[in-house]
Amino acid sequence: MDTIHKQEFNVRDLGTRAVTLFPSSAQVVREVKNVSLHPGTNEITVFGLTPTVDEESVKVEGTGSAVISDIAVELLPNRDIFEECHPEFDQDETDADDDSDTEPDAFRTEFGSSSSRDDNSNPELQAVRENMQRLRDQQKNANELLLSAASRLKILDAYTTQLDRRTPVDMTDLMATYRAEREKVFQDHMEGTLKERDLSQQLNSLIAEEKRLVARRDAEARKAARKKQQEAKAKQKELDRKNRRKAEHRREKARLRGECERFWPRSCYAVRITLDAGNFTPLSSRRSSLAGEAAFVKPSQSPSQEFGVAASAAAAAGLADDETSAGLQCDLVLTYVTHSAFWSPSYDLQLSTTTNSAALCFDAQLTNTTSETWSGCKVTLSTSQATFSGLNDAIPTLKPWRIKLAPRFVLNNTSTSDLANSREEIEQKRKVNAAQSQAAAPLKSRRSLFGWPKNAGVKEKQGARPPPPIPTGLAPPPPPLPSGGALFGASRPVPTATSSRAFGASVPFSAPPPPPAAEGSSMSRAEFATSDFGGSRDEDENTILNFPRPELEFQESLVEETGLTTTYDLPGVKTLAPRSTATKQRMVRLQLSNVAFSHTIVAKYKPVAYIQARLCNSSTIALLRGPASLTLDGSFMGRTSLPRCSPGESFTLSLGVDPGVKVTYPKPEIRRTKAGLFGGQDNALYTRVAIISNTRAAGKPVQMKVLDQVPVSEDDKVRVEVLRPRPNGLAGAGASTGAGTGVVPYGPPGDWGKATASLKKDGEVGWDVTLNPGKTVKLELEYTIAVPPNECATEC
């Protein structure tokens, strides 16, 4: 049994030569460089291809001393581990500022014991209190003298009252002794009184001093407490800010992880290539299985190799691997098609009514929703046609207004006023009124549209994501893939959208808004004049730097016409990573001149002036059908759709309603008369008036097409005759008509402009009007309807 030498390559380690994007798919060309071969049968396996690959489109070519004998494509479970491929999501977050969480509590504990520390740290207050304690001790001694004197005096008085009368006493000695003792008691009492009085005064002064020092200490303590509280609040605020940053970092990390999980495949395609290598096989004999040499070379990666041959078998075969495999190498080119990558055109159209010109920026939106990242590759775009919807507010088209004789049983309920308005006119007015009522409906309050929601914390825990964007571009939904629901994601339910069946939770993110354009600063004339004299070198350098900087420009692509297909080669090399939003690439910027602006008025259905722009594609590039951002005279108008336009062809865009043109369309006047062009019949004269005003006092005259209609008779007995505009002009090329009034009441005749009327088939009346700025024109339409006596006309 022949030994099969096996090697495996992960698609992430392979280089990408080129990517060709189509409107609904993409073709990828990958390279496997410098594959070492062993004599005999070699099996090369490339695994990790996105499960959205069309397995029938896989193609393998290459160069080298080998023959491709077999190619097999199979869908296998994804052997990669998400945490190993994305280690940045598996790192544990360490809180470096854990100690800061307890700082506010430490401050509060410090506040509670601040009073005792302040008493011990205030020497002046401590000295006053020591003096007060000393004086209180002395006051006790003085009080003790007073009490002692009073007690001795009581003892002395008691002794004198208790003398025995029967005992002889020397009164002289007794009185002398009493006087001497009483003087001593009085001196002691007086000394204690004076001492107590002096001590009380000193103690009162020290008490006042203590109160003053305590008040000052309390004020300082409150001030220090406020300062520490402010510092604690600042630290708490900083801690909250850090926590918010950590929470935002965790949310962003969860979002990025969810984005990666959305494109993480559950199963991947593997391409197994069997090669027969050997020096005995001449290269020219099997040339059909080999391709030309690669034109775009990338540095090769070192793949992991697994050889299925045992050492004992190699020794038994007697092959010297180092010698035989040294010159056996080959380069393989792997080509496949996926339906989860495409491109779509996008335009930015800037119109100018003053210069009758337009600037058209042709952009390409590149979308890659596969599981692969195509790094450093040449990107080519190939065109295709697709369909887009038009604007909602389109210019109405007049339908034929046909009338006939009314039946006898409805004669009494029918009058001439029933023909004042056609059914189509009534229906159109109903639609207009309904649209206006819908537009006048109250919008959502600003509170529901702006501000941080109250349940933001719940959404943060649940990983709230923005709503999916509205799909735009050329790509239709890709066809469903076999067993696509079990290809991507971890354990989340698979959405029903076919564009993401192969992936996990594929809720796309909204496209971010484009970054603002760089604005250069400008210098006034006075600054420029004063900067040339009396300034230093630094001032001169600053003055030079204040000049407007050049605007950033986009590098355009290379366009090539090949038969019915146009290809755009993007400049340089690009990296297309899987993401939910499309990336925009500037293709080309075109300058279109001779833009014709015109107005169309169908006042019967809606009294407004629709403005249109007719552009001619004067470039050599075919414009594809796609969405466009429309800007008119520097004001953003909204989004519209550009039709497909080949070089040299013209297309028309509806720009909506022009508020500068005011249209008034009053109710029709109806008069009954017996006299008329048709004798012996009942005649009804209808008069309809359209008053059009160009409210712009300056500018160019406005070219407009005004459309109205008269009923068309389907019965020979019903006659319709147009009286105004003049019938002789309606039958031919047109007749000049219209009565104009302008800002100046007595201007020269015809200073308002001019109007030419014409009658088309099916009763349509049109005026080609040129209305000067600040002028008003009144267009009248008169026609009669004649029916037999006691008959009435009605709409078919």
Q: How confident is the model at residue 471 (pLDDT cuts 50, 70, 90)?
A: very low
Tell me what pLDDT residue 260 has. Answer: 85
User: 400 or 386: which carries more pLDDT confidence?
Assistant: 400
645: its two tokens: 């336009």
Lowest mean pLDDT among 31-35, 131-135, 164-168, 608-612: 164-168
Tell me what pLDDT residue 451 has. Answer: 40
Whether this model's pTM surpasses 0.75: no
Lowest mean pLDDT among 242-246, 333-337, 479-483: 479-483
Is the pLDDT confidence value at 469 over 50? no
Q: Compute the mean pLDDT over every residue in the chain, rounded to the nearest whole number.
A: 74
CA distance 670 to 690: 16
Range from 142-151, 172-181, 388-397, 576-585 that averages highest in pLDDT:
576-585
Tell me what pLDDT residue 151 has. Answer: 85
Q: Which sequence spans correspond to the domains of the chain? A: 4-78+276-338, 111-262, 343-374+389-396+554-597+615-649
Q: How confident is the model at residue 277 (pLDDT cuts 50, 70, 90)?
A: confident
Q: How confident is the model at residue 354 (pLDDT cuts 50, 70, 90)?
A: confident
CA distance 330 to 47: 18
677: its two tokens: 């062009």
Q: Spell out a b/e string for 463-478, using b for 16 or more CB atoms within 10 Å of the CB, else e.
A: eebeeeeeebbbbeeb
Tell me what pLDDT residue 675 has. Answer: 54
CA distance 757 to 726: 9
Residue 531 φ/ψ, nearest 5 degrees: -80, -10
Which pLDDT tens digit goes with each residue over 754-776?
Answer: 899 998 888 999 999 999 999 99
CA distance 343 to 584: 9
Tell me what pLDDT residue 615 has. Answer: 94
Is the pLDDT confidence value at 22 over 60? yes
The residue type at 344: S
Dihedral sign of CA atoms 22, 25, 31, 37 in order: negative
Lowest mean pLDDT among 406-420, 665-679, 681-695, 727-741: 727-741
Lowest mean pLDDT among 524-533, 594-603, 641-650: 524-533
Is there a contact between 274 and 41 (Cβ–Cβ < 8 Å)?
yes
Lowest mean pLDDT among 172-176, 345-349, 417-421, 721-725: 417-421
Q: How confident is the model at residue 505 (pLDDT cuts 50, 70, 90)?
A: very low
Is the pLDDT confidence value at 351 over 80? yes
Please give the average per-residue pLDDT across 632-659, as a whole number: 90
Is there a contact between 48 and 268 (Cβ–Cβ < 8 Å)?
yes
Tell me what pLDDT residue 274 has. Answer: 92
Pairing verdict, β 596-601 and 702-709: parallel
- 3-class DSSP string for 119-159: HHCCHHHHHHHHHHHHHHHHHHHHHHHHHHHHHHHHHHHHH
162: its two tokens: 């208790």
Is there a contact between 192 and 146 (Cβ–Cβ < 8 Å)?
yes
Is the pLDDT confidence value at 680 over 50? yes
